Amino acid sequence: MKKRIGILTSGGDCPGLNATIRGVAKALYQEFGTDDVQIVGISDGYAGLIQNQCRDMAPNEFSGILTMGGTILGTKRTPFKTMQVIGEDNVDKVKAMKDTYKKQKLDALLTLGGNGTHKTANLLSQEGLNVIGLPKTIDNDIFGTDVTFGFHTAVDIATDVIDRLHTTANSHGRIMVVEIMGNKAGWLTLYSGIAGGADTIVIPEIPFDIEKLSEACLRRAATGKAFSIIAVAEGAYSQDEAKLKKKERQKAREERGEITATNRIAKGIQEITGIETRTCVPGHMLRGGSPTAYDRILATKFGSRAAHLVAQEKYGYTVAMQGNEITENKLDEIAGKSKFVPMDDQMIITARDIGVSFGD
Ligand code: F6P
């Protein structure tokens, strides 16, 4: 019997999704032969699985997509917390997803996504579906894997942003505060901050003190360099905010008309130092375009590992990289956990060794 393998991409997109889809497909065709496996593309993530938006795909659709950004399958955010709630549409989403799996006669479902995607993948696995996850996100915050595909491409893009800010900041003697995505984790800011030579790096794992951030700029100015580059993670918060519960912090921010810490940092530093301070938010540019060579290779390795898991009928796992080895973790052991930057991470130590301030 021809195996039928469903594949979907869910959550925020990132470079490397298509490279991973291609890796999975090519390895499945090698494993089973093109006549003995049918790949079923599911549109727009779990939304497509709920609504049975699926189609049988031809082998040539997986060719020529290695370098393409985004996802040929489309993606949507369908938050995990809504999955088990029956909304106004009266749809039991978990039942609908199981029904689609049956209607499409799937032997397995491959889910490419981040933390939210993995929570739903685990739920579906516990509901008896044969699920395999693949870890994507520019945030690099998936528990149990050293790296996710999309992360290194975003590091390169953010590094390029910081490089470009250096020349203009230098010309004008300004402080530039650049806000970098990453959700609640500081990985992307830490890596691109170091690669781009940021003078100060602000991440959620190390709450900042505006006085300390300003002192770092003034110290630099005293050496004859008026300009500074401050890389701020979108999830960063101050030492005062760290004393508040998440909801209180959000409320206080709403009252001040803020979403992220970037503008407050820029305003505070300008007031304290007297140096003109500007902000830059590259935003979704960090998720756009072609994956780097590193991510193409990682995506291909992850994709082929997922195909091997299908061949072994080893379900309820997500692919991972630990050390330099491709491996897998049980979905129920990683779902619902996030990976944050530990204080003894080599990158933190290296940054401190070269005098980078974290504003603490
Ligand atoms: O998880 C990837 C990510 O880009 C985060 O860094 C960011 O917080 C979030 O997605 C933005 O989501 P959206 O594209 O839905 O605005």
259-294 pLDDT, tens per residue?
Answer: 899 999 999 999 999 999 999 999 999 999 999 999
Q: Is the CB of 287 under 6 A from ligand 1?
A: yes
Mark which of 287, 314, 347 sits at the end of a domain: 287
Residue type, 318: T
Task: Give 196-199 contacts, CB < 8 A, sequence gap 24+.
Answer: 196/158, 196/159, 196/160, 196/161, 196/162, 196/163, 196/166, 196/229, 196/231, 197/162, 197/166, 197/229, 198/162, 198/229, 198/230, 198/231, 198/356, 199/228, 199/229, 199/230, 199/356, 199/357
Q: Is the CB of 184 under 6 A from ligand 1?
A: no
The answer to whether residues 116 and 82 belong to one domain is yes
Residue 360 lies in a domain: no
The answer to whether residues 200 and 282 belong to one domain is yes
Number of domains the chain contains: 2
Residue 186 lies in a domain: yes
- The residue whose C-alpha atom lies closest to atom 12 belonging to ligand 1 is 12
Q: Is the CB of 303 under 6 A from ligand 1?
A: no
- The residue whose C-alpha atom lies closest to atom 14 belonging to ligand 1 is 12
Q: Is the CB of 12 under 6 A from ligand 1?
A: yes
The answer to whether residues 121 and 174 belong to one domain is no
Q: How confident is the model at residue 299 (pLDDT cuts 50, 70, 90)?
A: very high
CATH number of the domain encompassing residue 230 = 3.40.50.460
Residue 33 lies in a domain: yes
Q: Is the CB of 114 under 6 A from ligand 1?
A: yes
Confirm whether 139 is a catalytic residue: yes
Q: Is the CB of 150 under 6 A from ligand 1?
A: no
- Centre of ligand 1 from the C-alpha of residue 90, in Å: 28
Mark which of 224, 258, 287 sits at the end of a domain: 287
pTM > 0.75: yes
Q: Which residues are within 8 A (CB) of 322 and not within 5 positions of it... i.e. 6 or more apart? A: 144, 145, 146
- The residue whose C-alpha atom lies closest to atom 10 belonging to ligand 1 is 12
The answer to whether residues 119 and 240 belong to one domain is no
The answer to whether residues 50 and 167 belong to one domain is no
Residue 346 lies in a domain: no
To the nearest whole number, what is the mean pLDDT of the chain?
A: 97
Q: How confident is the model at residue 190 (pLDDT cuts 50, 70, 90)?
A: very high
The answer to whether residues 9 and 138 belong to one domain is yes
Residue 268 lies in a domain: yes
Q: How confident is the model at residue 84 (pLDDT cuts 50, 70, 90)?
A: very high
- Centre of ligand 1 from the C-alpha of residue 129, in Å: 28
Residue 304 lies in a domain: yes
Report pLDDT for 132.
Answer: 98
The answer to whether residues 9 and 91 belong to one domain is yes
Provide mean pLDDT across the span 206-224.
97
pLDDT digits 0-9 by tens, 109-146: 999 999 999 999 999 999 999 999 999 999 999 999 99
Domain hosting 197: range is 154-287
The answer to whether residues 145 and 177 belong to one domain is no
- Centre of ligand 1 from the C-alpha of residue 51, in Å: 24
- Centre of ligand 1 from the C-alpha of residue 12, in Å: 6
Report pLDDT for 181.
Answer: 98
Report pLDDT for 255.
Answer: 94
Provide mean pLDDT across the span 299-316.
98
The answer to whether residues 229 and 300 belong to one domain is no
Report pLDDT for 171.
Answer: 98
The HSE-up count of residue 66 (CA atoms within 13 Å, CB side) is 13
Provide mean pLDDT across the span 224-246.
96
pLDDT digits 0-9 by tens, 325-354: 999 999 999 999 999 999 999 999 999 999
Q: Which of 13, 44, 107, 139 is catalytic?
A: 139
Residue 342 lies in a domain: no
